[in-house]
Every structure is written in C-alpha cells, then in structure tokens.
A and B are shown apart, each in its own frame.
Chain A
C-alpha cells in the first residue's frame, strides 16, 4: 500500500513542478514551449498598458525583456519598477500569457526569484564586458 501511495505521490509531484526562468533564459529559448512555468524580474517603467480586458507589461532583468499579457485583477503591490513573479506559458507570438501574477506583501520586499534573475543577468553582462576588454 505504501508503494502505491509513494508512486502516486511522486507521479503527481512530477507533473506539477513549475520551473522558474529569467527573461534572459526565455530570450535564449531555454523556456519550455507548452508547459507552465514562472518568470520573474522587474516590471519595466512605462510598459504597463491596461486594455479593456487585458493587461500588458514587460518584465526585464535589464538584459532581456519578456512581454506579458494577463487578464484579471492585479495584486495590490504590482507596480512599475518593482519586482514581480508571474506564472503562465508562452503563446505562439512569443508572449508570456500569465495565468497568475504573484503578490508579495511588503512594499520593500523583492521576490527572491526576481532579484536572482536581475543579479544573474548583471553578472553575465559583467562577465561579457570583462571578456570584451583587452
């Protein structure tokens, strides 16, 4: 009985893992095409557009950008220039169709994933400049 339970649990576990990708990884095409995943970074200043049913904004790690579409209510703490994590999948146009935009409950709090994404992109940029310099 325990074996069955374990097999069942692990199977459910496998199919419900949601991986996290930075905008740079998405730009390089590392993100899966038809699987749910998360992206995180900064909401680009001036990128928020509210349509009649859909909201569009750009998530950036200051190296690459991903355009995000979302229909639904944004959390209280969603702001341009602040960190954000969104869950969804890529559509045919290469846009990220979010099903969920995650809120953090403190205005000074940066989602660790978003911060990680930005730091990582900054590191890669720094590495490139070092290489480019003679």
Chain B
C-alpha cells in the first residue's frame, strides 16, 4: 500500500508544482494579484506532498518492504536502522527523491523568508523553482520511479553498498544536495530579475544570502565527500580529480565567483550581466553534475547506475534550462545599465580578476571532465585525462587568486591607491615570505612548492587577521557579512596551508608485515601486534592491531579492518586513523600474501596537516553561515519597501506592516563601517538620506 500511496502523493506534488510554475508567472505578467498570491501556498503544499512521498519511501525502508524493488536493491533486514535512513538516498531513484525534497525545502524557505519582497518578484522566483521541480518530478516518475513493485517480493534485500555504510555518507549527500539544489535559488532570482528587466541592487541583496548559504552547504558537502574518501576508500587520498568530484567542484568555483560578483552588483551596481551569467552557469553546472553522476556516462568511483534514457532526459532538461535562460539573457541583457564608474585600480578590479580566474579554472576543469566523454560519444576512441593535468593547471591559477585576495579586501571601491595599499600590507607580506621560507626547514625538506604554498597561505591568513584586528579596534557595530567574509578567507588560508603541507611532507609506505614486525616512519614506529577475527552486526572482519611508538613511548593503538559483509562478496577496507592537530597516522590492510599466510600487505601512511583541511573547510562554512545571517539582508531597501507598501494598500495588511518595519530598520545603519556607509550611499541614492541612529 505504502508504495502506491507514495507514488500517488508524488503525482499530486507534480500537479501542485505545475500550478506553482504556471499560475504565478502568468499572474505576474498579466498583473492578476490573486494568481500571484498562489505562489506561496502552492510552494508550501508542494513541500508537504513531496515530504509525504519521501516519508512513504522511508517507511518502506524501515519496514523492510522488499516488494518495493528499490528497497530490495538497497536495504537488508540486518542493515542498522541509521543506515536505513541513509539507504533511502543510497541509489539513483532515492537520491533524486532527496533532490526534489531539498528543492521543496529551499522553495518553502524562500517563500517564508521573502515577506519583504514585492509579490511580483517572489511569484516569479517561486514559479521558476516550480518549473525546476516539475522537471525533476517528471524525471522521477518516468525514468527513475522508486515506488515500483517487484512481485513476488524477495525474502531478503540486496543490502546497501558497504562503501556507503558509513556515518560520513549519511550526511555527505544531503549536504552536497542542499548545495547543488541551492544553486537553483540563485538561478531563479536571476531569471525572475531578467523577466522583470530589473537587475538592481535590491535584486542582488535578496539573492546574496541564499547564494551564500547554498555555497556554505556545497562547501560542507564537498569537504565531507573528501573526508569520506580519505578514510573510507583506504588509499589515503582526499582528492582524485574524479569526474564526479569535478562535477561538484565546478558549481563551487562558479558560486564562489558569483558571491563576489554579487557584492559588486549590490554595492556598486556593476557587473550585472556578468552576475546573471554566473548564476545561470552555477545552476547549469549543478544540473550537469547530476547528469554526470546519474547517467552512467562516467567511469568513476561514483558511477553506480547507468541507464541511457536517464542521461538523455537530464541532458534535454539541461538543454531547455540553459537554452531558454541564455535566450532570455540575450534578449534582456542589452537593456541592462552599467554600474558606476570604476577605476583601473579599485576593489572592483580585484573582484573582476577573481571572477575571471575562477571562471578560467572552471573552464579548465570542465575541459578535462567533458573532453573524454565527447570523444567517446563521437566514437573517436577512449581516453582519460589524468590528475596531473588538473594539478598542473589548477595550482598556477590558484596562485594569483590567493595573492590578489588580500589587496582585494583592502582596496577601496571605485579608486584605490597603490602606494597606500603597499604601505598598509608591507609588513604582512614580509612576514609571510619569511615564515614561508623558514618554516619548511623545521618540518622537513625545503622545496619551492612548499615555500610558495605556505607563503600564499600565510599571506591570506595573516592579511585577513590583520584586517579583522584593525576593524575590531574601530568603533561601530560589525556586521555578520564582515565576519563571514573574513572567516571564509581564513578557512581558505588554513586549507591552503594544509594542502601544501600534506602534499610536501607525506610519507606513504606499502609494506609486507608478519605479526611482530615493525615499520619506522619519521619518529613513529608501527608494530603489528596481532590479527583477530571480529564480528559486526552485518559483517565479519579480520582486524589488525598496531601499536605506535614515538621515541620508545607507546602513543596509540590502531585497528584497521578488512570487512566481509554477509550480503556481498566484496571485501571492504576500513582504515584506522589517529589524528592530532599536526598529523594523521593512517594504516590500512591489504590482502594476505599467498604461500605465506602470516604475511600481510599493509599501507602505512604518515600524513601531516591533513586535519587542517577539515578544520579549514569548517571555518569556511562558518563564514558562509555568518555572512548569510547578516542582519542587513533582513531589511528591505527603500525602493522595495515603498513598492510593497503600495501593494499592501491593495492587498495584505501583513505586508504593509512589514514594509513599515523595513523602513524603520533601514535607518539603523550602525553596523556598517564608515567607509562602507559612504559606498552604500553612492550605490543606492536613497540610503544616503538616512541618519544613523
């Protein structure tokens, strides 16, 4: 019953999504207020329905209903309950359900937190989101229905892929999807603005917090994925330039560019057309990511499913989205006005360079990811692009980005003074170069790579700290976006320091060991004490016990495992990792060697600075969250407030009171730095009239 109910509810959700897509848009184009006001209720109703359908699928998993083919494919009676929740998105069909659920969550949140926006704008935004939802629910119903029955039902399910039975994988996909799907919000705002033809600073102010929070989720999702690959795959690598990793990195790069470009649009009214293009690109790349992962065209660790009709559907949807939005762009863009003048040397220049460099990096990754697919599709042979390509291309592009980051945050809008900036930053620069040159001697061997990486990391980190300190000692309330930006940059600096450190100083040993053998790496001695058989809930494992000594002292016991899941013939390597702030000790088991049952191959790795990657990512995420919750975004600009107030006369009272509140809030300018205030006054003629409270 539950599967049929779920499918029925999903069809209802499709109908509601259709209403949400069509009526508010038509209403906003023909000025029919009643139709526009349908946008919010339909968004909420759609969320309830999608959540209901998702709940039905989840119930199928919790009740071990193996008559549902999807449940039988991805679950098992022995599967621990926590993983049954995760198993819902363990396969293709369920992960799309998660996609749609996330989309409806984002849509409802936009519907809820947009009280200050004029109804004509929000109805269009929600309508575009409704369109995306229609596309994806159709995709589920026609090509990837998780509610299909398989009768007679098998007695036991095939179980969740053991690789996915891991706490990291319970949270990685939802976070990544929140990020992917979040791009659809920035996209919808851009499309709504294009339709209206009003790409103003109000639009960028509404769009920014959503973009930033989506960016934070995407960052966290990518970080979790990398962390999972690091400890679960058992090879000790944290980034493989795997096409699916690239698929998540590309929207991230574009979204990062988008956040910075939106800032110029908001503060200075510039880069409007470019910002819109970035928003379109970010969402298109998310769709492309979904296509790459889900169509089976890739040879990748992630390519579990393959079905050409699915790929064709997503490709068509992608073509419709990209094609129609670019057409709209081409039609509207000539009408977009240019922003204020910008000097050759100004903050705008630095942000423009940031956009250009990030876009070039995205293009380079895109080339390396898609070229093999295109060549294969054209039947010109099979080939792959090796990780060296990405490393060789990506690193040099990151160097100028990191170098320009600090002057970019220091430079004034419109026109900056080079000499002034140099005087301001010379000590930071000098200290960074000196520490970057000296520190490697204390850790290991000096090389130009580690010098460059650490100098840049220190430069970004110290420059950011300098700026934060200077600001703290100035009077005035400091806004969330200030902290957000600087924390994000600080996190980036830590990630850069960590990547440089681990790439330069890691030691990897593949060795053969018998019980009692020892391996020495740096100051650590790894001794294999014993190998035992252990039993888990749905697997058995051989577990090795390593004792780690540092100058004669026992410091750690590590227990790597080789697991054999009962429902699957494939063995699983579980690495054992000991972390502290400075390094990871990483041990994973290989196969027993034939002929000599006592000898085992082992991977023993010394990985310095790996924890810095995860810490850095978390700080970046924190930065994103702080920036998104800046109070500034909860206020309305005077333009919109007046508009809303005007509409309130003909419509809802609630909106009117909000608008008045917004007007009053607008005078609380205390949280801007004096410099920011004057900029603001320039970009937005109305805000200059306000008196600081």
A residues touching B (Cβ–Cβ < 8 Å)?
Answer: 1-2, 5, 8-9, 12-13, 15-20, 36, 38, 50, 72-74, 76-77, 85, 102-107, 109, 111-113, 116
Contacts and interface: CB of A to CB of B under 8 A. Distances in A.
Contacts of A105: 161, 163, 301-302, 304
Given A77-B570, A105-B304, A9 B386 contact: no
B573 A107 contact: no
B389 A12 contact: yes
Contacts of A5: 360, 397
Contacts of B356: 1-2
Nearest to A12: B392
A17 B383 contact: yes
A111 B568 CA distance: 19
Contacts of A36: 386
B301 A103 contact: yes
Contact of A18 (B364, B367, B385): B385
A9 B383 contact: no
Contact of A13 (B302, B368, B571): B368
B299 A113 contact: yes
A112 to B, nearest CB: 6
Contact of A73 (B161, B367, B601): B601
B32 interface: no
Interface stretch (B471-479, B590-598, B620-628): B590-598
Interface string B382-393: 111110110011
A19 B381 contact: yes
Contacts of A2: 356, 360
B523 interface: no
Contacts of A18: 383-386
A46 B595 CA distance: 16
B304 A74 contact: no
Given A36-B386, A76-B570, 17 more contacts: A1-B356, A9-B363, A13-B385, A16-B385, A17-B389, A20-B384, A73-B591, A73-B603, A76-B572, A77-B570, A102-B299, A103-B301, A105-B161, A105-B163, A106-B161, A107-B568, A112-B299
The 5 A-B residue pairs with the shortest CB-CB distance, nearest first, are: A16-B389, A20-B382, A73-B590, A12-B392, A107-B570
B536 interface: no
B510 interface: yes
B393 A50 contact: no
B569 interface: yes
B594 A16 contact: no
Contacts of A19: 381-383
Contacts of A107: 568-570
B516 interface: no
A120 B603 CA distance: 37
13 contacts: A12-B388, A17-B389, A20-B382, A20-B383, A77-B570, A85-B299, A103-B301, A105-B161, A105-B301, A106-B570, A109-B303, A112-B296, A116-B382
A116 to B, nearest CB: 7
Interface residues of B, number: 43
Contact of A76 (B296, B304, B397, B573): B573
A109 B571 contact: no
Contact residues of B: prevailing secondary structure: mixed
A109 B299 CA distance: 10
Nearest to B601: A73
A50 B512 CA distance: 13
Given A104-B301, A107-B568, A74 B384 contact: no
Nearest to B589: A73
Nearest to B296: A112
B186 to A, nearest CB: 25
B602 to A, nearest CB: 9
A16 B568 contact: no
Contacts of A76: 234, 570-573
Contacts of A9: 360, 363-364, 367, 393
Contacts of A38: 382, 384
Contacts of A102: 299
A44 B462 CA distance: 57
Contacts of A113: 299, 382
B427 to A, nearest CB: 29
Given A20-B381, A107-B568, A12 B393 contact: yes
A109 B304 contact: yes
B385 A106 contact: no
A19 to B, nearest CB: 4
Interface string B131-175: 000000000000000000000000000000101000000000000
Contact of B389 (A13, A73, A106, A116): A13
A21 to B, nearest CB: 8
Given A50-B593, A74-B591, A106 B396 contact: no
Contact of A16 (B234, B392, B603): B392
Given A17-B383, A106-B304, A111 B603 contact: no
Contacts of B381: 19-20
Contacts of A103: 301
Nearest to A13: B389
Contacts of B392: 12, 16
A109 B303 CA distance: 9
A117 B572 CA distance: 28
Contacts of A112: 296, 299, 306
Contacts of B389: 12-13, 15-17
B363 to A, nearest CB: 8
Nearest to A112: B299
Contacts of B384: 17-18, 20, 38
Nearest to B591: A74
Nearest to B297: A112
